[in-house]
Every structure is written in C-alpha cells, then in structure tokens.
Structure 1
Amino acid sequence: MERKYGKKASQKVGRALHEMEKGELTSGNSGKKVTSRKQAIAIGLSEARAEGAKVPNKKSPTKKSATKKAATKKTATKKSATKKTASKKSTMTKAAAPKKKAAAKKSMK
C-alpha cells in the first residue's frame, strides 16, 4: 500500500505543530499567532507542497457546493425580480390614488 504523504511532508507538519505549541508559528500575511492545530497542519502541508514533497493536492469543491452556488444565484435573481415588481405595484397604486379622489370629489358636487 502506497503512502499518501512523504517523509518530508511529515517533517514539515511536525515542525509546524512544534512551533505552534511554543507559540512561534504565525499565519501568512496577518502575522497572527496560530492557535489551531488544524491550521498548523495546513501550514506544514502548504510548505511541503512548495518544496515539492509528496502531498496530495488540495481538495476541489464538490458538485454539491457548486449546485448550492447556482441555487443561491437563482434565489438572488428571484429576490431582485420581486423587488422590481413590488416597486412597480407601489408606484401604480400611488398614481391611481389621486384619480380616485378626484372622481370622488366630482360625484359629491
């Protein structure tokens, strides 16, 4: 059975975890201290990838998440469409209201 991760990758992850425990491991651009074990592992794997060590590729988004994005786009367009029709309705009722009042005044005279 073939191993997923190479020796270099495990060394990088081990070093990152050790630095995190000491409080020396910092995150990329922000420079904040890393407190999460998962984040330390991710940093170690990222460094191993950069050096060409044997590490599986990052997981790509699944089909479910792609369909969720498409579904949210559809609902967003539906919401904007309903907003447009609602604004048309409100302008129509406002425009029609003075005509009714004028007709009512004429009938009173």
Structure 2
Amino acid sequence: MARKAKKRRYSRSSGSDVASEVRRYKKGTAKSGRGGRVKSRKQAIAIGLSKARKKGKKVPKKASKRKSAKKTSKSKRSSKKSSKRKSSKR
C-alpha cells in the first residue's frame, strides 16, 4: 500500500528561524527575553519557534499548560504487613 503524504506541521522558513537561533546559541550570543544567556539547546529552539510565531509563520500552537483538573485517585495497594508474631508460650 502506498503511504499517505504527511502534512507539514512547520513551514520551511520557520525551520530556518530555529536554525539561526541554534547557531547563535552555539556561538554564545543567544539571549533570552530579559537579556539572560541561553543555557540549553531546548531553550534556543523554543526561542526560535517563538520568533517564527511572531512573524506569522506556520508553527503549531504552544502546548497549553494542563491544570490538574483530573486528579487521579491513589490506587489502593494491597500491601501485606509482615508482622512478626511473638509466641507467648515458650
């Protein structure tokens, strides 16, 4: 069976924005919003994507922070306590 062509999530030009930001990070000149130095590669990629979004390029929306609305109940563990019984009769 022939595979279906996947739709591009990111535009090629947004990729170039990210690439330029990663280059700046490697060079040591990349700065974050308040002027602090970018310390990680992931941070540099995020800044590149953010700049691409501001320019209006095709980039998926930010992953929204999910509130802990669905609180998972703690699963009841059937832990058997191994209590040592002292024999009263010796």
Equivalent position SS for 2:49: helix
More helix as a share of residues? 1
Q: Deviations over 1:48-86 (max 9, x none)?
A: 000000000001133xx33279xxxxxxxxxxxxxxxxx
Shift of 1:38: 0.5
Q: TM-score, normalised by structure 2?
A: 0.67
Distance 1:67 1:5 in 2: 30
Matched with 1:67 is: 69
Does the alignment pair 1:53 with 2:45? no
The structure with the largest alpha-carbon Rg is: 1
Distance 1:61 1:13 in 2: 22
Q: How many residues align?
A: 66
Which of 11, 18, 22 aligns to 2:16? It is 11
Higher relative contact order (CA 8 A, sep 6+): 2
Equivalent position SS for 2:68: helix
Matched with 1:36 is: 40
- Alpha carbon RMSD of aligned pairs, Å? 1.6
Distance 1:20 1:57 in 2: 23
Which of 24, 36, 41 aligns to 2:29? It is 24
Distance 1:55 1:49 in 2: 6
Query: Between the two proteins, what is the percent identity of the paired residues?
Result: 45
Shift of 1:44: 0.1
Matched with 2:7 is: 2
Matched with 2:88 is: none
Matched with 2:75 is: none
In structure 2, the gaps of 5 or more residues are 1-5, 72-90
- Runs of 4+ deviating beyond 2 Å: none
